[in-house]
Structure 1
Amino acid sequence: MAAESITFSDVVQCLEAAGLLLNQKGILPKTEMTAYTTDTRKLENGDLFIAYKGVQFDAHSRVPALALQYPKSVFLIEDPLCFDIMPADHPLLLVKDSREAWSYIAALRYGNPQEKLKLVGVTGTNGKTSTVWFLRQILLARGIPCMTLGTIGVYCGDEMLPASHTTPDPDDLFKNFSLAVARGITWAAMEVSSHAIVQRRLGPIKFDAVAFTSFSRDHLDFHATMKEYFAAKWELFGKYRKTKAPAFVSTTVREHLPSSSKVSYAFYGPSEQMGEDAAKGYSYTISESRLNHSRLLLKSPKKTVDLDFGFGGDFVMDNFTAAYALVDSLEPVDAIKGSEIKPVPGRFEPVPAAARFNFAVIVDYAHTPDALEKTLQKLKEMTTGNLWVVFGCGGDRDNGKRPLMGEIAERIGDRIVVTSDNPRTEMPEEIINQILKGMPRKKKIEVIEDRLAAIEFACLQAKPGDSILIAGKGHEDYQIIGKTKFPFDDRMVAAEVLQKRI
């Protein structure tokens, strides 16, 4: 886990080998590189400073002043104009992409731990978290410890570590890989977000197996178009994949695949959608599907597996199949039992306290139009009474999906409660108004901005046979208002509110 001692010459050699170094100025110190940073507030004299063009701030604007303040520091930059105006005697490294250089340097600093692990990468609009979670469960059932990184957090064997991004920044990413290696772990699986790919956080990583779980609208506040969004995710199958490494694509992504692509892959999905692709891929049939039970018949190119799970959700079974395919393609999976697989936190997760009142409360992370629609459709099939929907949309994120989610909620749900999600720096009422623009208002719509009050309203009004979907936050145990995280867990709130019915 400890960082290795490296020199500035080591950094130059690393960047040259990666094809990232374009030019350099000045004489590099022959001493050890004690530290590097991308944060101007943490820079100390003699450090390496990595400047890049961020979404809100371009650090190159500070480089000339920082060079005067820290004359012994080396600056790594990606802006040719900044390079040209800097003095010829100050040590500078001009690179193609500062973020990618940062990733290579982080990997070097931690001894290139990615080379010592069997790495699995999972991308997709929805389903990344569940797939990585199930991959871990499959390995644990086989007695193989692993590291997983994603939205829920970082698991190193049995220990859970905090995580701030779906795909960590380079320092945290390679530090975590180094920790895994130090503890004798040989497998690591991670969610690979489109942001991480565009921002080149992966650096020298080449995955041993990859999967693409789904593709639908999201993150158009970051990507200019859906085409650009897809292209970012598809890079996982080219730039970041080992030659001939197993690759799997959900049948739901089929219509988005480039017709001229030379990338090889196999499909996975429901048997009725596989067609001729079933012979090379992984198909499944769900024979039983309830809130607390599913039966899955999974067929691979070499065997058929019959599994009983203690949880429900058809789309969850799709993600389990992806996880099974990823593991099985690298190391054939012997017999496992469905009872050995734990459900994904905050993904179609029932609140047990509701059962005594003969209705269901389900907490799910569905925060995109596609995820909300699929979750509601499945829950509608299981509901004999009214289907309640309690949801909002996150602030400082793609606002174009808000009316789409409003339309879906009203079209499928019977009782709709629009509330606040993680408003962040936006005004909650403005987000709610954008949601309402997509709703014809042909059904009774409750607007309750306070999320606790919204959950309470639904849980106290629901009748036997009803189902309540509390969507958007899933496993999260906080609510972000402004830039502050406040404790808030939909599952705990619902359980506490249900006590008032006793």
Structure 2
Amino acid sequence: MLTVGKVFPKLSERIKSEGVLIGMDAQLLPITFVDVFRCLEASGLLLAKKGVMPNRVVPEITTDTRKLEDGDLFIAYRGVQFDAHVRVPELSRQHPSAVFILEDERCFQLMGEDQPFLLVKDSREAWSYVAALRYGNPHEKLKMIGVTGTNGKTSTVWFVRQILKALGKPSMTLGTIGVFCGDEMLPATHTTPDPDELFKSFATALARGITYVAMEVSSHAIVQRRIGPIRFDAVAFTSFSRDHLDFHATMKEYFAAKWELFTRYRKKDAPAFVSTTVRDHIPQSKAKLAFYGPTASRQTSDHGYFYAITESRLDHTHLDVTSDRKHAWDFPFGGDFVMDNFTAALALVQGLGETGEFSGSQIKPVPGRFEPVEAAQARGIAVIVDYAHTPDALEKTLAKLKEMTTGKLWALFGCGGDRDSGKRPLMGKIAEEQADIIVVTSDNPRTEKPDFIIEQILKGMPRKKTVHVIEDRREAIAFACLNAKPGDSVLIAGKGHEDYQIIGKTKFHFDDRSVATEILSAPRD
């Protein structure tokens, strides 16, 4: 683990004299190019160097070819759609005083000795180390909690925040819903932000007196080394099922990426919790693991946290959890699978020594996760908004709602464009098996044609039971909500907490919860 004081004693003194943090927000630490060189050398990322590293302060660090200016540090990496190395020869001529970090050895060999070039093992990882250095390695002074999994990351991180808040411990959480610093919410563009935003967030947390940071750690972030220097104090693996095969070549590769949170990014002997649903995927390991899940899934040799749900309604859940002692809570919300994530959060918090008591009424439900639309009650129906956007999540959500439904079960969903297309017919098949009435619509089509996405979903419905295709999502929600009969339940799946829809490359305001509320609250004819 790199520390400012041990690796860069001069920087440690500079922190004291100039200050990394001013007021309540993070401030950049003035680092030099020599500091960058030493950082990459100490991390084991540096392979070779050309030119003389200038001993001057780095004015700006960028990965954007359009934003590079003379004197800056440019980090070139191979992206999914663009490899910045192709622009390096031209950029170096335009900006002769810039310094370049490269991961392409051929590009490095083509460069002369009159300008500084650093060849590294992985440019994205180098970016994360340099970003951490600029903010004084704030992650080393925080209690870091990392959560990975196909489904359940967001809910688990949300409940970590809720539990810590109930115990009087403010926290920062980062994930799909956004970045929460205490009670302040900031928007998020990625499940795991890029290194600059990530370490800036950590420095802000430190400046505001926060001790705990809980974050979703996506497989993309792990593969792209956005979390390079972080070693987590506690980790959890919530679930594993098909997703992101547009990014990972195989399920084996997808799992291997997630498992690195436990093997590469976890501190030695840090608490590690794995859902019993993931048990069969785990490789033989000497790592000490604890499990969590329903009591029925517990094996004789297991230690960890196991729960039983003794009462379950849309507006109430009674949960019993057994670990080294017994706990019981009454929550003012429903969703059995959400309780799995609460149990993971409890394990993480208690694994770090926070074992105080709190009540279920202090825990707020996760936005857009099995969230009822209250306006539906007046019509005698249930309308549930959920983020379920994978086959596994859709199946579990429909199965639970089916248990609570006396009438017909409606499933309204689509699939995202420019994403794993193989899951589309799988989700269609699940909807046909679980629901009585299906409405197939648009999700975030992005640059794909909505009708093509819908066509792929329909391939999974060979029986072609009651299926309505309504491409416009607002119209689809209106159709389902206004045609559901008393006793029916309508699941609006796929977007959950999202308040936008992406069509083409444009993001439009759209919130399933608000749209459903507006439709259900309108005067009846």
* Range into which the TM-score falls when normalised by the shorter chain: over 0.9
* Residue 332 in structure 1 maps to residue 357 in structure 2: no
Mapped to 1, the partners of 2:434 and 2:420 lie a distance apart of 22
Provide, for residues 31-76 of structure 1, a one-character-per-residue CA deviation record: whole Å limited to 9, x for no partner. 1111110000110000000000111111000000000000000010
Report the AA paired with residue 116 of structure 1.
K
* Residue 236 in structure 1 maps to residue 261 in structure 2: yes
Provide, for residues 234-277 of structure 1, a one-character-per-residue CA deviation record: whole Å limited to 9, x for no partner. 0000110000000000001011111x222221100000101214
Does the residue aligned with 2:328 lie in a helix, a strand or coil?
A: strand
Mapped to 2, the partners of 1:332 and 1:172 lie a distance apart of 28
Q: 1:147-166 alignment to 2 at 5 Å?
A: 147-166=172-191
Q: What percentage of residue pairs aligned between the two structures are identical?
A: 72
Alignment-derived partner of residue 417 in structure 2: 395
Q: 1:168-183 alignment to 2 at 5 Å?
A: 168-183=193-208
Alignment-derived partner of residue 369 in structure 1: 391
Q: How many residues align?
A: 499
Give the TM-score, by structure 1 length: 0.99
Does the residue aligned with 1:40 lie in a helix, a strand or coil?
A: coil
- The answer as to whether partners of 1:249 and 1:267 remain within 8 angstroms in 2 is yes
Alignment-derived partner of residue 221 in structure 2: 196
Mapped to 2, the partners of 1:422 and 1:390 lie a distance apart of 14
Q: Which of the numbers 44, 47, 68 marks the counterpart of 1:22?
A: 47
Q: 1:79-478 alignment to 2 at 5 Å?
A: 79-258=104-283, 260-278=284-302, 280-301=303-324, 303-478=325-500
Mapped to 2, the partners of 1:216 and 1:58 lie a distance apart of 31
Does the residue aligned with 2:501 lie in a helix, a strand or coil?
A: strand
Does the residue aligned with 1:269 lie in a helix, a strand or coil?
A: strand
The alpha-carbon deviation at position 224 of structure 1 amounts to: 0.1
Provide, for residues 451-484 of structure 1, a one-character-per-residue CA deviation record: whole Å limited to 9, x for no partner. 0000000000001100000000000000000111
Report the AA paired with residue 173 of structure 2.
T
The alpha-carbon deviation at position 202 of structure 1 amounts to: 0.2
Mapped to 1, the partners of 2:112 and 2:410 lie a distance apart of 65
Give the TM-score, by structure 2 length: 0.94
RMSD over aligned CA atoms reads 0.8
- The answer as to whether partners of 1:266 and 1:277 remain within 8 angstroms in 2 is no
The alpha-carbon deviation at position 27 of structure 1 amounts to: 1.0
Structure 2 residues not aligned, in runs of 5+: 1-25
- The answer as to whether partners of 1:283 and 1:299 remain within 8 angstroms in 2 is yes
Provide, for residues 92-117 of structure 1, a one-character-per-residue CA deviation record: whole Å limited to 9, x for no partner. 00000000000000000000000110
Mapped to 2, the partners of 1:264 and 1:481 lie a distance apart of 46
Provide, for residues 284-329 of structure 1, a one-character-per-residue CA deviation record: whole Å limited to 9, x for no partner. 000001111000001112x111100001111000000000000001
The alpha-carbon deviation at position 162 of structure 1 amounts to: 1.0
The alpha-carbon deviation at position 334 of structure 1 amounts to: 1.7
Alignment-derived partner of residue 28 in structure 2: 3
The alpha-carbon deviation at position 500 of structure 1 amounts to: 3.1
* Residue 480 in structure 1 maps to residue 502 in structure 2: yes
Mapped to 1, the partners of 2:461 and 2:279 lie a distance apart of 30
Mapped to 2, the partners of 1:212 and 1:120 lie a distance apart of 12
Report the AA paired with residue 117 of structure 2.
L
Does the residue aligned with 1:147 lie in a helix, a strand or coil?
A: strand
Mapped to 2, the partners of 1:250 and 1:501 lie a distance apart of 46
Mapped to 1, the partners of 2:273 and 2:54 lie a distance apart of 47
- The answer as to whether partners of 1:347 and 1:364 remain within 8 angstroms in 2 is yes
Report the AA paired with residue 71 of structure 1.
P
Distance change >3 Å, CA 371–CA 277, structure 1 → 2: farther
- The answer as to whether partners of 2:391 and 2:427 remain within 8 angstroms in 1 is yes
Report the AA paired with residue 155 of structure 1.
F
The alpha-carbon deviation at position 426 of structure 1 amounts to: 0.4
Runs ≥4 residues deviating over 3 A: none
Report the AA paired with residue 314 of structure 2.
L
